[in-house]
Amino acid sequence: MTAAASFCDLTLDELAASLAAPAGEDAPEPGRAVRSPSAAHVFGALHRVARWSTDDRGHRAPILGRAAAAAVAARLDLRLPQIVEAEPSSDGATKLLLALADGARVEAVHMPRAVRNPRVTLCISSQVGCAMGCTFCRTAQMGLVRNLDAAEIVGQVFAVVLALGPVDPQRISIVFMGMGEPLHNLDAVLRAVRILCEPAGMGLSPQRITVSTSGLVAGIEALARAEVRPALALSVNATTDEARARIMPVTRRNSLAALRSALLAFPLRSHEKITLEYVLLAGENDGDDDAARLAAFAAGMRHNINVIPWNPFTDGGFARPDDARTMAFVARLRDAGCLVTVRKSRGRDVAGACGQLATDTVRVRRSAPAGPR
């Protein structure tokens, strides 16, 4: 007898295998599983939030027929990460603190975009803390506490969408820009992406899921080979290896030249671009020569440079550039032929913006997982 799996952790094939096996037993070998129509039906009932009902006490649960409900109850755990705090920001974003089953806490940010057919971007965490040690990022100060598993990543999406919507998955985009380095936990991230993109379930498009990395070359190469491949963003943040290594230690093993080669080799779908994030630190990386080198880095790749004026936090040690400096930097890039957007960091007044995320989880250092380095 094995412990009930989280419904968030199973692909459609695995759910089919689990339903085909007697309750409480291990599922048969994946190759022997027969995908029954009822598995797709059960997967849809579980993963389409619009089909969930709310009882008198506000408790939400999927609507299942009697037989399916019994099969699910015997095999699957329907619990989700608990939202323990929700802090709405004046700009419409909401920072959410989620408690996982072992008490660890991660943050997610819900960011509605005010357009005619409103879309929502969910900023999701891939790890509790982060091992990468970027000097400008608050999450780095936690160190790596642990990886999230796929169920916890998918569970974050469910918990946030059930609380704040939207129920229509067509209106959801996901960015792995919360806590953690997603390519340091690539297997779990790709498994979560696969489950979220399953057409019988939430059916998100992998093109509307973006994985942001501090720059692990081997991880970028592995991502390029993924069967269900999300979009890629690289946090460039400095334009010489020396300057970058000072603020992003990951540069010591992953040079800008090697990163650029990995990006140039990354297979893009039509209309797809690579996002190049650039956290602007006043007096540190915002010079005209930086703009010129950043433009040279981007040359020859379909890109969108996303300039992010640094979001301060206590003892952050850097300065946020003023709007005039930011726009001068952007103008230089545009003059050099780059496509540039400036990120309006959402949730700044509730410390929910990029790089301001950290939780008070007791720091229990475990040996770093064998992720790409």
- Give catalytic residues, as residue numbers: 107, 354
- Candidates 139, 147, 210, 239; binder of ligand SF4 (CB under 6 A) is 139
Q: Is 137 in the site for ligand SF4 (CB under 6 A)?
A: yes
Evaluate whether 44 touches 31 at the Cβ level (below 8 Å): no
In whole angstroms, what is the distance from residue 237 CA to residue 260 CA? Answer: 13
Residue sitting closest to ligand SAH (CB): 355
Q: Nearest to residue 347, comparing CAs of 122, 144, 129, 136?
A: 122
Work out what residue 354 binds among ligand SF4, ligand SAH, none; the CB cut-off runs from 5 to 8 Å by kind: ligand SAH
Q: Is 213 in the site for ligand SAH (CB under 6 A)?
A: yes
Work out what residue 125 binds among ligand SAH, ligand SF4, none; the CB cut-off runs from 5 to 8 Å by kind: none
In the complex, the smallest distance separating the C-beta of residue 310 from ligand SF4, rounded to whole angstroms, is 11
Quote the tokens at residue 245: 């290594």
Q: Which of residues 233-272 bind ligand SAH (CB under 6 A)?
A: 235, 237
Cα–Cα–Cα angle for 78, 14, 197, rounded to 5 degrees: 75
**DSSP assignment string, 188-215:** HHHHHHHHHH-TTTT---GGGEEEEES-
In whole angstroms, what is the distance from residue 64 CA to residue 45 CA? Answer: 7
Closest CB to ligand SF4 among 133 and 287?
133
In whole angstroms, what is the distance from residue 65 CA to residue 304 CA? Answer: 47
In the complex, the smallest distance separating the C-beta of residue 216 from ligand SAH, rounded to whole angstroms, is 10
- Candidates 49, 97, 177, 209; binder of ligand SAH (CB under 6 A) is 177
Evaluate whether 86 touches 99 at the Cβ level (below 8 Å): no
Q: Is 308 in the site for ligand SAH (CB under 6 A)?
A: yes
Q: Which of residues 265-304 bind ligand SAH (CB under 6 A)?
A: 277, 279
Q: Is 128 in the site for ligand SAH (CB under 6 A)?
A: no
Closest CB to ligand SAH among 10 and 233?
233
Q: Which of residues 336-355 bind ligand SAH (CB under 6 A)?
A: 354-355
In whole angstroms, what is the distance from residue 238 CA to residue 246 CA? Answer: 9
- Candidates 107, 181, 284, 286; binder of ligand SF4 (CB under 6 A) is 181
- Cross-strand partners of 172: 120
In the complex, the smallest distance separating the C-beta of residue 31 from ligand SAH, rounded to whole angstroms, is 36
Work out what residue 297 binds among ligand SAH, ligand SF4, none; the CB cut-off runs from 5 to 8 Å by kind: none
Work out what residue 177 binds among ligand SF4, ligand SAH, none; the CB cut-off runs from 5 to 8 Å by kind: ligand SAH
Give the per-residue SS3 of 274-327.
EEEEEEECCCCCCCHHHHHHHHHHHCCCCEEEEEEECCCCCCCCCCCCCHHHHH
Work out what residue 156 binds among ligand SAH, ligand SF4, none; the CB cut-off runs from 5 to 8 Å by kind: none
Q: Is 160 in the site for ligand SF4 (CB under 6 A)?
A: no
In whole angstroms, what is the distance from residue 32 CA to residue 28 CA? Answer: 6
Q: Is 277 in the site for ligand SF4 (CB under 6 A)?
A: no
In the complex, the smallest distance separating the C-beta of residue 328 from ligand SAH, rounded to whole angstroms, is 19
In the complex, the smallest distance separating the C-beta of residue 165 from ligand SF4, rounded to whole angstroms, is 27
In the complex, the smallest distance separating the C-beta of residue 137 from ligand SAH, rounded to whole angstroms, is 3
Q: Is 214 in the site for ligand SF4 (CB under 6 A)?
A: yes
Evaluate whether 351 touches 313 at the Cβ level (below 8 Å): yes
Q: Nearest to residue 263, comparing CAs of 213, 206, 309?
A: 213
C-alpha dihedral over 231, 16, 60, 8, to 10 degrees?
-40
Number of residues that bind ligand SF4 (CB under 6 A): 10
Name the burial class of residue 96, with classes exposed (0-12), middle (13-18) and buried (19+) by CB atoms within 10 angstroms of its CB: buried
Evaluate whether 156 touches 209 at the Cβ level (below 8 Å): no
In the complex, the smallest distance separating the C-beta of residue 228 from ligand SF4, rounded to whole angstroms, is 23
In whole angstroms, what is the distance from residue 123 CA to residue 108 CA? Answer: 5
Q: In the complex, which residues of this chain contact ligand SF4 (CB under 6 A)?
A: 130, 132, 134, 137, 139-140, 180-181, 214, 355
The footprint of ligand SAH (CB under 6 A) covers 136-137, 177, 181, 212-214, 235, 237, 277, 279, 308, 310-311, 354-356
